[in-house]
């Protein structure tokens, strides 16, 4: 499954999928689900996860500046605070969107 259209609508990201489904995910939920190592942590060879302490998100942190496509498999949001290292594979994006 792939998105065929992605648009910001207010404080949500609206996604239309190639199977006809639609998803709406709040921008704050999308930011909190960021899969990058800085947000979710890194795993060592023994399976231990090392993660920075959670920090509160500023209003800029949930302002979506743009969404870039990564190959044919993912999107990469760019946030108002400059964060842009999270790459959301389409299947993960659909799980985050809850549909």
Q: What is the pLDDT of residues 67-85, one digit of tens each?
A: 999 999 999 999 999 999 9
Would you say 87 and 40 are in contact if contact means Cβ atoms under 8 Å apart?
A: no
Number of domains in the chain: 1
Beta strand 42-43 with 49-50 is antiparallel
- Is the model's pLDDT at 13 over the cut of 80? yes
- Ranking 2-6, 56-60, 64-68, 74-78 by mean pLDDT, the lowest is 56-60
**Does residue 22 sit in helix, strand or coil?**
strand
What CATH number is attached to the domain comprising 12?
Answer: 3.30.2020.30
Which candidate, 17, 42, 41, 33, places its Cα nearest to that of 79?
Answer: 33
Question: Across all residues in the chain, what is the average pLDDT?
Answer: 92
Q: Which domain holds residue 54?
A: 3-97
- Between 1 and 60, the more confident residue is 60
């Amino acid at each position: 499954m792939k998105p065929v259209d992605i648009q910001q609508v207010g404080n949500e990201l609206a996604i239309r999928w190639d199977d006809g489904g639609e998803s709406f995910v709040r921008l704050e939920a999308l930011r909190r689900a960021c899969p990058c190592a800085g947000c979710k942590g890194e795993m060592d060879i023994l399976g231990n996860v090392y993660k920075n302490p959670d920090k509160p998100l500023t209003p800029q942190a949930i302002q979506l500046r743009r969404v870039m496509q990564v190959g044919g498999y993912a999107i990469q949001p760019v946030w108002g605070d400059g964060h842009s290292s999270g790459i959301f594979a389409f299947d993960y994006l659909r799980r985050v969107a809850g549909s």
